[in-house]
Chain A
């Protein structure tokens, strides 16, 4: 497994897929590590992509700074990884925390990538997310990594998945506990709780951007993804049916198919974002459907968008 040096820190990363393929770089979320990308990664490799997955600074086998992790360090790691890929189309996908790093990268280095895929991500921390984040930090501090994971499982997955995977959840929790350190996760969480909102800078993202959101994601609900869509000029948002926050794990093949399809559309010059909203297919190979016109995609019940009030014609002021 190769190692990357960035600002004297070692990053554990993995390369898969054809040497000469277009690249997809995957940025993980909190408590995740390289191996958890495997089914998603395999979906991309099957479609001819060269995939880079890595442990974010502070997670997995990558170095864990003892006291401070700056988001700029995470962006620098991503830049160093992208540099190793040479001249080829490069697509960056990030989930949750990883999506924030991907967004920051696209803002700071707009000319180095061909496309961006924020998944279950956000550019600001409104009160609900802040309180959830603070509660998760407290859970980590008082209850340890395992307690945090116990909280995250129901936030990330559907009942069906939790039921089907009941026999491996203990093992997954154990591995997550083993590979992560409390202090490092705490540093990572604090770097996000203190971060400056990116919303005002999103308009500087010039690359085609495909925002992916789970229909039932209540950890980072749809308005957070929609804020990305309305601010990033060449963007489209797809709602993945019946998906929760961690759909790169629960619906890995479908999510990989959607990312690959976006990248293929960009490379073929077919992608037209237009800040559009789509409903994703239920299965790999299915088509995207435009969100029904006239309905509010931010509601859970079918609510029609109110027609704008006609402007009142004013009489010219008497002189």
Chain B
């Protein structure tokens, strides 16, 4: 099993079927983030921290747009099943120990965001010999780089003073979401003969 994507096309690009599978996974995960953020955001921003939610919502949309435009898409029949599996996994899993239902959903949303931004490192899968000017490659690097910034909102919230009393429950929720995202990500890669374990 390979530890990076490939073998590369003759022109040094990632094979289109790998681009399609990876981009589909990322679109699914980031679209789930965008949907949840859109739901969590009020119509009118009243508090400073809500600006952070809005900013993150916009960045998630940017990532989705970038993926749809930089990927060389090819038909992939397996995606019907895979997309269903991924979308089911992103369904809310409220962390009831965190407080009321709204707070419980927020903690889960942040936990999932932490897992998506920290646990998925698409640029680490790029072979050294890849064409660095290929838009898909640039997009993978951009998404990984942006994830390091985007995760700050989740870190601030999950480590914040309002959740100190339920720190263990929050940590467990984050671990659960990480395990789930990692399982789906590695299974998707394994389906393309790429192993990161």
Question: Which residues in A have some Cβ–Cβ distance to B below 8 Å?
Answer: 66-68, 140-142, 144-145, 174, 178, 181-183, 186
Contacts and interface: CB of A to CB of B under 8 A. Distances in A.
B158 A67 contact: yes
B148 A141 contact: yes
A144 B159 contact: no
Given A181-B118, A186-B155, A67 B174 contact: yes
A61 to B, nearest CB: 12
Interface in B118-157: 118, 121, 124, 128, 145, 147-149, 151-152, 155
Range class of the B interface residue count: 20 to 34
B149 A142 contact: yes
Specify the main secondary structure of chain B where it touches its partner.
helix
Specify the main secondary structure of chain A where it touches its partner.
helix
A145 B144 CA distance: 11
Contacts of A66: 114, 118, 171, 174-175, 178
Given A181-B118, A183-B151, 5 more contacts: A66-B174, A66-B175, A67-B174, A141-B152, A178-B124
26 contacts: A66-B114, A66-B171, A66-B174, A66-B175, A66-B178, A67-B114, A67-B159, A67-B170, A67-B174, A68-B159, A68-B167, A68-B171, A141-B149, A141-B152, A142-B149, A144-B145, A144-B148, A145-B148, A178-B124, A181-B118, A181-B121, A182-B118, A182-B148, A183-B114, A183-B155, A186-B155
A182 B174 contact: no
A262 to B, nearest CB: 40
Contacts of A182: 118, 147-148, 151
Interface in B162-185: 167, 170-171, 174-175, 178
Contacts of A186: 155
Nearest to A190: B159
Nearest to A141: B152
Contacts of B152: 141
B65 to A, nearest CB: 22
Nearest to B146: A144
A67 B121 CA distance: 18
A67 B163 CA distance: 12
Contacts of A181: 118, 121
A59 to B, nearest CB: 15
Nearest to B175: A66
Going nearest first, the 3 A-B pairs with the smallest beta carbon separation are: A182-B148, A183-B118, A66-B174
B181 to A, nearest CB: 11
Contacts of A142: 149
Interface in B82-116: 114
A186 B152 CA distance: 10
